[in-house]
Amino acid sequence: MAEEVDSEGVTDSPKKGPTLSTSTSSFEALDPHDPNLSRLATTMFNKTSDYLYGELTASLDDYRLLENMNRTTITKYSDMKHIAANVAKSMHELNEKYTSLQPYLQQIDQIEDSVLKLEQAAYKLDVYSKRLEAKFKNLERR
């Protein structure tokens, strides 16, 4: 089958006359053709279709995974927000309690200072009374 190609890219089809073709093959739909070639072309198109379907499905699965991860992250951040709010509320309450107890804590510190001073005075008194007792016993022996 010889084809004639003019300078404008028009080829002559043996059955139908001049046609515009971007292909170098002279395949006509109704012409008898090689069944092996047809089978291979069908296999190629099926495999190409499967490949493209797999690529699109993989991308869709990636987007679904990202969507699920985003939902999980939103939930976690929401939980953390509630926890942080509860901690802040508890800290505020503790600060208020500490402020209300501050005068009592100062009184406790003052009482502790007084107890320490009394303890020191008691030790001094004990030492002094032991010296007096020793002097008294000394005087009694004489």
pLDDT digits (tens, 9 = 90+) for 31-65: 567 888 889 999 999 999 999 998 889 999 999 99
CA distance 82 to 89: 11
Residue with tokens 């690529």: 55
Q: Which two tokens stand for residue 67?
A: 């969507």
Would you state the pLDDT for residue 10? Answer: 47
Q: Which two tokens stand for residue 129?
A: 């009374």
Determine, yes or no, domain membership for 21: yes
- Count CB neighbours of 27 within 10 A: 10
* pLDDT single digits (tens) 85-135: 999 999 999 999 999 999 999 999 999 999 999 999 999 999 999 999 999
Rounded to whole angstroms, the maximal C-alpha distance in the chain is: 159
Count of structural domains, the chain: 2
Asked if residue 39 and residue 18 are part of one domain, the reply reads: no
Tell me which residue range forms the domain holding 44.
34-135
Asked if residue 42 and residue 7 are part of one domain, the reply reads: no
* The model's pTM: 0.46
Determine, yes or no, domain membership for 140: no
Q: Which two tokens stand for residue 21?
A: 């073709």
